[in-house]
Structure 1
């Protein structure tokens, strides 16, 4: 059996939201529709659908009746799910309360819930089975509209297509071959407002033939619960009769159910992979299992940590998922990814090619500055040492977060000088090296007079014998730099000709700036 939480996760937030779930998550065995009154036969583990419940008193009665029968959860639509009395009744009775989104059709939800429960008991490869169903469904839809059809997701990727694609045009052939609409073809449809019309909820959209030989298209959006899940594209010879177009549109709810089922299967597989990857990164799983179950190649890989902007905001999880979807587009192989804390962790191969660190790094570089996250990569290691690469990536991310490194992206092996300075500064802190010698006098003078002598001395030591370079680093005139050096040496006599004095000072100043 499967838990209430798993059912909600697999169906997805488009249709369901868990209002409250007991600490010990109940297991689900079946789905029943509550009849008016207490006449419904409810058994232990049932999901009870309050189809006709619109008042809070009736909802409270159903919740208590279901809890007495040890049902797993009660599913209701708002506004009754938002009533304090209903929520209190569910918590006190120890039964899960799940909100069904207002636009969801109960019949479609029943079908989908039973699909999820059947899938939990099924040993067949769900992903392959779901894909096969979609291709058969594409053939059925093509027969309805009497034209070759593709079923596409919201990113214009082809998830299934019908037969007879040889009777189409080069744009459709390229779409089938590449499993997504080519960018140039996409631009043409976008310029005609096709995707704007899809988002507005039009039932059908007709696009006439184009001058380059692209045949007409009849497009139907696929929606459920108010969310756009994708679209169906039929290549037609010309305008389609209203009756046939309506029949084509009538197939959309059935396709929507299959797309949700496909997404539920994919989500389940992704969650399993994420849990396994977390164990790998924590050093709890050996390389053999990681290679077999995560489909990693037996070669060096890097761990990449991706910290999204606003990671402490309420919608941070949605931002991370949206970011993952965006960066996965256009790269050859989707990275193996999991979430730890407030960041995404990806494992990517070191070699050049699809899905590599170089390709992922380039994908981040193409993001707009405002939405660009901090990204840090550990050094390339064997699969058995991914935990070490994770630690290196986290250390590099810490330097990016502290502003000690320029930009938003860095890798452990490229930033060795900064890492050495930071580690040296971290080690020097407990030894209180900055309290020794005359440096404290300079710091006190700077704080009292805002003179900047400590920074001046630091740049003098960084650029020995080159006052122009030191002045440029401070963004002051070389003469101003020379004047500051004379003044600080008058304040604190230092023998800067002594190499040991210079080494001691640079150690102190590094501890100040890099700790």
Structure 2
């Protein structure tokens, strides 16, 4: 019962302000299935009727070739940056492939378009039975439909914004407003200069205090304000303010329209809560299915089938915050959720059937294998580059899972790699199990020694005791020599002493420890003790 969103609906809701129809049929009834970014160096796998975002595609020849390829995969439309180079070759490719071309207007960002498209394509998903899918006669969670309905009531273009003045949805007829409204929608955020004036006028303070609409006089356009007045009303559920509704009007509203806007605010609150609830339900369901698939138990096969990932090679990925302390604080929990949502969005852009969800402190992803496993490292690197330093994270790639039992083993490998990265060995943020298996084994050996209460014994114990009694550095000398593979010169440089001094200390290691450093078995035993017990 989820409302069907076809290409015509996308053009109707996002056209004029964000998109322009360049060429091709936009009235096909097929529902848009997904939004996919086009990458010329790494072709994504498209579901049928996908809407493809062609970033950087501006050459007519490349555009025509891409349209032909998209037609073979039954894509619905291609969006490129306007103005679209509509040569005869491009027009012929559109007509032959049956893939419409839309232009993203100058000033609009691809991320903004992607976010709005995804919110438009999946309003009120998993809405349940038919009698629960309508709120106020409109599809549950469809904020664009609600904005259009309010615009009809008020006879004015409308935006619905969240608590941070970010645009969640907007109605048609935005071209009837002024330049400030266009800038708000293109930037998906109220311009800073405009917001500052509203704060100075006390508009936001007044907006949050009451449930009645407030009338806002025009702000002179010389400071990037607006020429038309605004009417705004807060949207709340109980004591929580969810956002606000803004309409560009010619003058104050009549009593009847003010009352209608107040009722509309209550309806918007229900839809916003429905969107939030739907997202929570989807997140929990995705996490449950992914947990079952990664667990490898009796329900793993069914879980993979429901996720659409059965009978194909898979890569198990894992990301986690690079947290050192306060792991249970509210801010860390919030950051974990933000990291999980961002990773899920990133993976979905890479492959439409990829799935990700947070399970405990780790967000796991299942990605169908296309190309080599090295591609997964590039995907994780791209994700971390996009995050920058805002959410410092570590990431791991498990071995390729070619069967059901392999998925659980690959998940375990991901956990082992994350443990190595979290301990800071080696100094990197992304790791593959086939590169870090040795480090993972050492970490597990260290855990086993700690669980048993192991203490240094034999030669290492004698060296530790000597260092404690004489404030010596024999353990440091031994470690440096072993790390340098017996190169005394290199080892001496690593701890900042003269090589003759180092050689003297090394002889003291043999004498005090009563060990033969020429014996490979004794050397290996000392290396294991130093790694597992960390006597320093």
TM-score (norm 1): 0.58
| Structure 1 CA distance for aligned equivalents of residues 130 and 195 of structure 2 | 41
User: Which residue of 362, 375, 381 maps to 2:385?
Assistant: 362
1:89-488 equivalences under 5 Å are 121-122=129-130, 129-132=139-142, 134-154=143-163, 158-167=167-176, 181-182=187-188, 198=204, 201=208, 204=214, 208=219, 210=221, 218=230, 220-235=233-248, 240-241=251-252, 250=262, 251-284=264-297, 285-286=299-300, 289-290=303-304, 292-293=306-307, 300-306=314-320, 310-313=326-329, 318=334, 320-325=336-341, 333=349, 336-340=355-359, 342-349=360-367, 356-367=379-390, 372=392, 375-382=395-402, 384=404, 385-406=406-427, 410-422=431-443, 438-464=459-485, 466-467=487-488, 469-471=490-492, 473-474=494-495, 481-488=502-509
| Structure 2 CA distance for aligned equivalents of residues 475 and 209 of structure 1 | 68
| Structure 1 CA distance for aligned equivalents of residues 308 and 195 of structure 2 | 37
Aligned length: 386
Do 1:433 and 1:508's aligned partners in 2 also have CA atoms closer than 8 Å?
Answer: no
Aligned: 1:491 with 2:491:
no
User: Would the alpha carbon gap of residues 360 and 381 (structure 1) be closer, same or farther in structure 2, given more than 3 Å must change?
Assistant: farther
Per-residue deviation, 1:327:
6.2
Per-residue deviation, 1:473:
4.4
Aligned partner of residue 241 in structure 1, secondary structure: coil
Per-residue deviation, 1:233:
4.0
User: Would the alpha carbon gap of residues 206 and 310 (structure 1) be closer, same or farther in structure 2, given more than 3 Å must change?
Assistant: farther
Q: Which residue of 1 aligns with 2:112?
A: none
User: Would the alpha carbon gap of residues 164 and 364 (structure 1) be closer, same or farther in structure 2, given more than 3 Å must change?
Assistant: closer
Structure 1: unaligned runs, 5 residues or longer: 1-115
Structure 2: unaligned runs, 5 residues or longer: 1-123
Per-residue deviation, 1:459:
1.4
Per-residue deviation, 1:441:
1.4
User: Would the alpha carbon gap of residues 432 and 143 (structure 1) be closer, same or farther in structure 2, given more than 3 Å must change?
Assistant: closer
Deviations 1:127-163 (A, max 9, x none): 993244x333212221344322232445766543322
Aligned partner of residue 306 in structure 1, secondary structure: strand
TM-score (norm 2): 0.56
Deviations 1:185-217 (A, max 9, x none): 755556656699658826656673656988558
Do 1:283 and 1:387's aligned partners in 2 also have CA atoms closer than 8 Å?
Answer: yes
431-440 vs 317-326, greater mean Cα deviation: 431-440
Do 2:157 and 2:247's aligned partners in 1 also have CA atoms closer than 8 Å?
Answer: yes
Aligned partner of residue 140 in structure 2, secondary structure: helix
Per-residue deviation, 1:457:
0.6
Aligned partner of residue 139 in structure 2, secondary structure: helix
| Structure 1 CA distance for aligned equivalents of residues 412 and 203 of structure 2 | 47
Per-residue deviation, 1:259:
1.0
User: Would the alpha carbon gap of residues 278 and 432 (structure 1) be closer, same or farther in structure 2, given more than 3 Å must change?
Assistant: closer
Aligned partner of residue 187 in structure 2, secondary structure: coil
| Structure 2 CA distance for aligned equivalents of residues 501 and 171 of structure 1 | 76
Deviations 1:57-110 (A, max 9, x none): xxxxxxxxxxxxxxxxxxxxxxxxxxxxxxxxxxxxxxxxxxxxxxxxxxxxxx
Cα RMSD (Å) of the superposition?
4.9
Do 1:337 and 1:345's aligned partners in 2 also have CA atoms closer than 8 Å?
Answer: yes
1:10-159 equivalences under 5 Å are 121-122=129-130, 129-132=139-142, 134-154=143-163, 158-159=167-168
